[in-house]
Amino acid sequence: MSSLSITTVQANLHWEDKAANLAMLEDRIDSIQARTEIVVLPEMFNTGFSMHVQQLAEPMEGSTMAWMKRIVMEKKIILTGSMIIEDNGNYFNRLIWMLPDGKYGSYDKRHRFGYAGEDQYFTAGNRRLIASVKGWKINLQVCYDLRFPVWVRQQIIPGDGAAPEYDLIIYVANWPQRRSHAWKSLLTARAIENQCYVAGVNRTGNDGNGIYHSGDSMIIDPLGEIIYHAGEKEENFTAVLQKQHLDAVRTSFPFWKDADHFLIDPQ
C-alpha cells in the first residue's frame, strides 16, 4: 500500500515583506532533512494576511510563482501555500499547488473572512481543487474554509467501486491564537466526519495588526487521533501518511456508506 510524506512549515512571517519571507522560507525548505514529497506553507506565505491588495498582489507570472517553480524543480517536491493574486482585475487569496515539473493547479479561497474585511477586497472562489499524488486524492483549502463543513464534505464516487472522493485535506492558514480552540477542534472534526487525514498549517508570531498567532499546526488521522501538534515555535515536521491505515479505518467503520447525497451550488 502506498504512503505519502508531507512536511508542514510553521513560520513567523515577515509583515508585507516578500523578499524576507521567500528567503526565510527557502532556508526552511533547505533545512528539511527527511525525505518528503509535499511541503506545505501557511496562508499568504509571502506577505502575511494583509488586505493591502493593490500594493501586494502579483499576476500569475509574478516573482513568487517563479520562486515556487525554481524551488520545486531544485528539490523535486510539491510545494503549496496561498498568496494574493490579481487576475483579470480581481484579487484572489489563491492557493497554488506547484508540481516538480513546474506545472500547477490553483484553488481560490471560497469563504472570505468578513470579520477582517477580506470580503471587501477579495473575490470568492467557486470550485474546489482535489489534487492527485501517487493514487492519493487531496482536497486543498484555505483557513476560514475550515468553518464551513459543507464545502469540504466528502462526496461518494458512485459505481461498483464506490469510495470517498479524497483521502487528505490540507488547510493553509493565518489563524489567530485567540480562536485556537476552534482551529484545533474543527481540524479534528473534519478528519472524523470525512474519514480522512487532515493537515493544518498555521503561522506563528504577531502580524502587522498586532494579532498573535500561536501556530498549532496539526496532522490528524482518519479516526481523529493527533499524529502531530506543533507548539508556538517555528518548526518543520515531516509525517508519513499510510494508505493502508486509511483503508483499514474505512473498511472497519464504513460510516461513509451511510452519508447523505447532495450537490453544492457555488453561486
Q: Which amino acid is at 229?
A: H
Active site residue 196: no
Please report the sign of the dihedral spanned by the C-alpha atoms of residue 91, residue 92, residue 97, residue 103.
Answer: negative
Out of 37, 43, 58, 118, the active site residue is: 43
Determine which one of 18, 58, 109, 118 is catalytic.
Answer: 109
Nearest to 249 by CA among 164, 182, 170: 164
> Which residue out of 37, 58, 69, 143 is catalytically annotated?
143
CA angle 195, 199, 200 (to 5 degrees): 125
Q: What is the dihedral of CA 82, 83, 87, 90, to 10 degrees?
A: 100
Which residues are known catalytic residues? 43, 109, 143
